[in-house]
Amino acid sequence: MKQEIRYNVDADLEPIIQDWLDWLTDERKYSPHTLDGYARDLADFTTSFDKPLTLKQLEKMDVRAFRNYISAKAAHGLEKSSLARHISTLRNFFKFLNARKIIKNTAISVISSPRRNKVLPKALDVNQTFDVLEESKNFATNAWQGLRDAAIFTLLYGCGLRISEALNLNVGDIDSNDFVRIRGKGNKERIVPVLPQIKDAINAYINECPYHLKNGEPLFLGARGERLSPRIVQRQLQKIRAGLGLSNNLTPHALRHSFATHLLAEGTDLRSIQELLGHASLSTTQRYTDVNIETLKKEYSKLEHSVFDKLSQLQTRRV
């Protein structure tokens, strides 16, 4: 159960904060996770004041006051990514206040976000990836759960999905034209092709699942028939990682990174990878150009006849 978020503000400001959160939810379509982060950041900001914060104080805050707050957070060891989110939260909140003509204060816009350290994606090589896909079914409690895990990991890699995107899928979401419509971060929608090998893995799980899977209901189920939790998937991958002697970098997200990295090796252009991953900015996708793999020379359509050939061979051996 999440701890209640408390703000150190007066009676006039509290409903305005709630209006802001409602606006982020209803108008901006922010995810619950992002909303929770913004709410906690703003609560942290308000508790930096000795007395309940007022609108009048917010209106009078200058650049130095904002810089002092951010500097204090940095001095307590807050990471650059968290500092950047705190600044983003304050910008967003003051933008809301200005737009609604509640107060006028643009001082926060002068504060620049700290430059983040460049972090390269952690990708598996092709052989390691297929070792994971092949062995994933052997680490579950029973056969149907093993097939479920194999289907999920094949989907994460084969479609480049985030774990939340895969587990939010319902029965029937993958259409007859072999495409899946994904609703990702910021409620942004994208369409991703689903190769036959991925559908085979999903169908193998569906055929063995002891629960009756109906259209529109959760596709991937836990032991009690409820929508599967990301924590279960993460725990299963930890077992696989230990069993195969792989690095701690092997996470569900690493399979998504591997998808992008291997596509890049096959010659897929960055714009296409951006669309497949659902990145809002091409600069996010460009991180993959720093992963030293092979010279770009092939097209995405050839992936089925190269990387996934190995998966087909593995499936044939199991029959």
- What residues act catalytically? 162, 185, 253, 256, 279, 288
**Spatial contact of 52 and 9, defined as CB atoms under 8 Å apart:** yes
**Residue 270: how many CA atoms within 13 Å on its side-chain side?**
11
Any idea which residue has 């509290």 for tokens? 14
129 CB neighbour count, 10 Å cutoff: 24
Dihedral-angle region of residue 101 (phi above 0 means left; psi in -120 to 50 means alpha; beta otherwise):
left
Q: How far, CA to CA in Å, does 155 sit from each of 196, 298, 312?
A: 11, 22, 14
**Cβ partners under 8 Å of residue 156, min gap 6:** 163, 166, 252, 255, 256, 259
Rounded CA-CA distance 171/282 in Å is 31
Rounded CA-CA distance 219/215 in Å is 9
- Per DSSP, helices labelled H in the chain are 13-26, 32-46, 55-60, 63-75, 80-99, 126-135, 143-159, 163-167, 196-208, 230-244, 252-265, 270-277, 282-285, 307-318
**Spatial contact of 21 and 56, defined as CB atoms under 8 Å apart:** no
Residue 303 in tokens:
């992936």
Rounded CA-CA distance 134/200 in Å is 14
**Spatial contact of 123 and 254, defined as CB atoms under 8 Å apart:** yes
